[in-house]
A and B are shown apart, each in its own frame.
Chain A
Amino acid sequence: MGRPMQVARYWRHFKEKYRLIGGKCKSCGHVHFPKRPLCPECGSQEIEEFQFSGRGKVVSWTIVRNPPSGYEYYKPYPVALIELEEGPVVLAQLTDIDPEKIDFGMEVEMVTRKIREFDEDGIILYGYKFRPPIK
């Protein structure tokens, strides 16, 4: 499928995807990811950027064995819901891990990894994944 000019579409999210920056409500203090135009708790539009630590715990996980086209390269790969230590939950791939060892509540930390490549226009996408912490 032709995908003209995908660069801007991904470039817009570099901050969130490379550094795990979300939003914090100036009115009620609620933190969320990704950053939204309105606070999901109080509706305030006064939202500032918030840097997450990248540490969190596995809430649930699965192994993707039949991926959407474009993601075959890593298959099978684990995807998890991760509760960040600041509260919000994010969805991401787990990496550098034996899928058999994944468990509820397992501690993980954010790392930057390649997410996928596009054959058509050569773009390579990077973003956050999570792995067991390097002690």
Chain B
Amino acid sequence: MRKPVIIGVGLTPVGEHWRLGLRDLAVEALLNAMEDAGVDKVDSLYVGNMASGSFVEQENLGALIADWAGLGNIPAVKVEAACASGGAAVQEGVKAVMSGLEDVVAVVGVEKMTDAWPSDATRYLAYAADAEWELFHGVSFVALNALAMRLYMKEYGYTEEDLALFAVNAHANGAKNPYAMFKKPITVETVIKSPYVADPIKLFDASPIADGAAAVIITTEDKAKEFVDKAKMVEVAGMGRAIDTINLANRKDFLILKAAKVAAERAYRMAGISANDIDFFEVHDAFTIMAALSLESIGVAERGKGAMLAKEGQIAIDGDYPIQTLGGLKARGHPVGATGVYQTVEAVWQLRGEAPNQVPDAEIGLTQNIGGTGSNITVTLLRRV
């Protein structure tokens, strides 16, 4: 099969974009990525988006965005996998290139969340849970993650302060990222003093509701030479994705992200590497508990030891396992369906040596994007060419 290579990236800052609509954000990111790659046309477009129908009453995003970006009569579709929509869209784009069906593919992740009332946004996000057996009972997405956090703390003896370290690390890194929503460092005290949203999850344990779009251009290794120098090429070395029970209550084990474990194993096998070979990790820290569980599920930490990595300072840029190098969901912001593409853009920066918070000599990076309460997860491995 053909080797897939990312040759261009583009994005908008994450934030509350009152003046910009969904299509404005998507087109801006997309055109930036095409300019970065030096391409003026693409064979197809994949749009990562979770809930545009709910948030802005707009579906059919393939047609909308390809039309407004002037891409012509190409095939274009929306890819939905809840908050993992962006990661899934990137993987669909990679598959199209690998298969030989398409040579130059654009992927854009976009979400416009702040046009909705906060309590409506909370409801739309809960649509990623099981509507009949979870949302029906008035549970929010935060609440589902809180059930796991309480259990994790009890099972392994961690405190709220321990988990807050993930937020502190994310904000420290986000402070260096001009595209991040929050550019201010915080302390453990900031997290602990913030109000409970769903106990034990506090406001600063959770990622913010936000708007944003990010895009990448994918082609084959041979074709890439027509557009960019080798220094700009980043190979998609491995990828995997998997689902788990959509209803948290139906899971046999509440403290392992089985879908992440399976997805990571698939990605490692495809790339021929192990977790030890990876230089940095963009994991899905929608909530601090998810950062801990993610590190365990992708094989970086043993069961129950994910939060230890934060306590030991190993998740910082100069640690053995740097995570959320540009702020993660927590500080960069989490425009849900766009997040997986933001992670990809940030990993490309690291591997090109262009990151504002550079991991020295980064060769291989991992992005892990979670949809639902761990019910739909993508893992993608990127490698310097």
Q: B116 CB to closest chain A CB, in angstroms?
A: 9
- The reply to whether B137 and A92 form a contact with Cβ atoms under 8 Å apart is yes
B122-137 vs A, Cβ < 8 Å mask (1 yes, 0 no): 1100100000111111
- The reply to whether B143 and A62 form a contact with Cβ atoms under 8 Å apart is yes
Is there a chain B Cβ closer than 8 Å to A79's Cβ? yes
- CB neighbours (8 Å) of A116 from chain B are 138
Is there a chain A Cβ closer than 8 Å to B254's Cβ? yes
- The reply to whether B137 and A127 form a contact with Cβ atoms under 8 Å apart is yes
- The reply to whether B139 and A64 form a contact with Cβ atoms under 8 Å apart is yes
Is there a chain A Cβ closer than 8 Å to B247's Cβ? yes
Q: B98 CB to closest chain A CB, in angstroms?
A: 32
- CB neighbours (8 Å) of A81 from chain B are 147, 248-249, 254
Is there a chain B Cβ closer than 8 Å to A106's Cβ? no
- The reply to whether B248 and A69 form a contact with Cβ atoms under 8 Å apart is no
- The reply to whether A115 and B137 form a contact with Cβ atoms under 8 Å apart is yes
- A interface majority secondary structure: strand
Report the count of interface residues on B (CB-CB < 8 A).
36
Is there a chain B Cβ closer than 8 Å to A74's Cβ? yes
Is there a chain A Cβ closer than 8 Å to B197's Cβ? yes
B108-129 vs A, Cβ < 8 Å mask (1 yes, 0 no): 0000000001111011001000
- The reply to whether A74 and B138 form a contact with Cβ atoms under 8 Å apart is yes
Q: B325 CB to closest chain A CB, in angstroms?
A: 30
Total A-B contacts with CB atoms under 8 angstroms apart: 101
Closest to B142 in A: A66
- CB neighbours (8 Å) of B140 from chain A are 64, 66-68
- The reply to whether B150 and A62 form a contact with Cβ atoms under 8 Å apart is yes
Is there a chain B Cβ closer than 8 Å to A90's Cβ? yes
Q: B34 CB to closest chain A CB, in angstroms?
A: 36
Is there a chain B Cβ closer than 8 Å to A50's Cβ? no
- The reply to whether B196 and A63 form a contact with Cβ atoms under 8 Å apart is yes
Q: B58 CB to closest chain A CB, in angstroms?
A: 15
A93-125 vs B, Cβ < 8 Å mask (1 yes, 0 no): 100000000001000000000011000000001
Partner of B250, one of A69, A89, A93, A127: A89
- Give the CA-CA distance A104 to B134 in the complex, in Å: 20
Chain A positions within 8 Å of B, measured between CB atoms, are: 13, 17, 32, 34, 40, 59-72, 74, 77, 79-81, 88-93, 104, 115-116, 125, 127
- Beyond A67-B140, A68-B123, 8 additional pairs, beta carbon < 8 A: A60-B148, A60-B154, A60-B254, A64-B198, A68-B126, A89-B249, A116-B138, A127-B137
